[in-house]
Each structure stands twice: as C-alpha cells, then as structure tokens.
Amino acid sequence: MFLETRPTVFHLILLLLGSLLLLFIIAPLARLMLATSSSELSGAFGDEELWSSIWLTLRAAGIATLIGSMFGIPLAYLLARARFPGRALVLGIIDLPIMIPHSAAGIALLAVIGRHSLAQKVSGPLGIQFVGEEAGIAVAMAFVSVPFLANAAREGFAAVPERLEKVARTLGATPSRVFFTISLPLAWRPILSGMVLMWARGISEFGAVIIIAYHPMTTPVLVFQRFNDYGLTYARVAAVVLILVCVVGFTILRFLTRPARREAK
C-alpha cells in the first residue's frame, strides 16, 4: 500500500478528504458526549423508563433480525445462484425499504398489519397484536432493515466457489446438504455481518416505528418525546445512554465477525 512508501500529493488529498468525513461523523457524537455531565449519566442509570425502552429496542431489533434471517438468507442464496427473468426487479424490490421515507413505510405497513387488516384477523385469535405492541415494532424494524441482511448474505453466497457445490453434488450430496454443509459455513461471516447491520439499523429506526407503535416506546421514540416535552437536556441524556449501549454491543458483534487473520507464509 501507499502508506508503506513515500506518500504523494494525491494520497495526501485522499487522506485529508477521508479525515474530514471521519470528523463529520465523530464531531457531533463527541460534542454530545462532552455536553453530558457524569451526574446526568449516573442519574440516567436509575431511569427505569429509559432502560425499559432500551431493552424493548434491543429485543425488538433482535426479533426482527431473526425473522429477517429466516426469509432473507434463503432468498439471498437463490439470488446468488439462480439466473431467472425478473431477477433485477427482485433485487430492486429488496432495496425499496432503503429508498422509501420511513414514515411512509409505517403508514404502508398499517395497511397490512393494522387493526382491520387480514394479517391482524389471522393473528388476533393467536393472541398476536401489532398496532401498539412489540410485535408491530419488530415488523416495522424488519421492513426497513432487511435489505442490509439480504444484500450482505447474497454477496457472501456469491463469493463461495460454485465448483465446490458442484463437486459435492457429483458425490451424491443433496441440495439441502450442500447448502448447510458447504454454502452456509463458507458464507457465514458476511451473513453474520449483515445480521449485525440489520440489528443496528432496527435499533435506530424511528419513522416507521412511531407510526405503528408510539407506546410502548422504543428509545428513539423516547428521545423524541423527551425533547418535545422537556427540552434538549433530558433528551440528550437518553440519547447518550442509547449511543453507549449501541457502541458496546456493535463493537462486540463486530469483533465476533471480524475476518480471521491469515498466517504469514
């Protein structure tokens, strides 16, 4: 790499531009942290409403990720291996939740899981409610975040050499056995990375969630509510606690999904 040699003017320009982007990301977060005193943070640790919203947010995002994985991973494998008419359309549909304004996504979801929808009529006798419930929050999170998992899993499966699967088939392995013993184990790091991104995106969701369920409050909704009712100080403390929890959780998960180091030959 160029860092191992004498840097040129071009490389210095790249470094400057990249540093400005990092500063753009770090500066608001650092300013938020520095503006919050230790006494405010210590008081937040006894805030039951805040911690209840954090656990709800983490739990609902986890449920959304599990649901997305059940359906997104098989679809990703088909898209990585199959070539069929309309494949480009399917890829575009997967990316739609990223492009749609999330408040509009929440309104669209109400048509599918609202109180008078077919889905609610089917799930109601089973004791599953969506509007104003955790199940609805998980559905909203899954809708806006599943593209991150599906795309990462598709790229992971595409990186697995097809010849390995073909050799296994010629040796008598069934398609399901090939998938579970070759394709999935070789693509697990990109898939897990996609799951982490989906979980993280679900945690941060606000627009779709607030349409489906203002109560119980996820932490992004709680931050918004405290900002409207009490001002910046109360909202800032809740935001800082959520950021710290997310950074710790995201760092741990990223550590688990880091690429293995190759031993020097």
Is 56 part of a structural domain of the chain? yes
Find out whether the peptide bond into 7 is cis, omega within 30 degrees of 0: no
- Structural contact between residues 209 and 106, judged by C-beta atoms closer than 8 angstroms: yes
pLDDT for position 228: 92
Is 59 part of a structural domain of the chain? yes
Helix (H) / strand (E) containing 236: helix 232-256
pLDDT for position 61: 95
Is 13 part of a structural domain of the chain? no
Q: Name 108's Cβ contacts closer than 8 Å, sequence gap at least 6.
A: 100
Is 14 part of a structural domain of the chain? no
Helix residue ranges, H only, 159-206: 162-170, 175-178, 184-186, 188-204
CATH code of the domain in which 229 resides: 1.10.3720.10
Is 28 part of a structural domain of the chain? no
List per-block mean pLDDT (blocks of 10 residues) for the chain, which spans 265 residues: 71 93 92 85 84 94 95 95 91 92 93 88 89 94 95 95 92 92 93 92 93 92 92 88 85 71 45
pLDDT for position 265: 40
How far, in whole angstroms, is CA 203 from its chain's centroid?
A: 7
Is 11 part of a structural domain of the chain? no
In whole angstroms, what is the distance from residue 158 CA to residue 156 CA?
Answer: 5
Q: Name 60's Cβ contacts closer than 8 Å, sequence gap at least 6.
A: 134, 137, 138, 141, 202, 218
Is 74 part of a structural domain of the chain? yes
Is 17 part of a structural domain of the chain? no
Q: How many domains does the chain have?
A: 1
Give the structural domain span for 176: 48-256
pLDDT for position 109: 94
Question: Got the DSSP string for 4-37?
Answer: GS---HHHHHHHHHHHHHHHHHHHHHHHHHHTS-
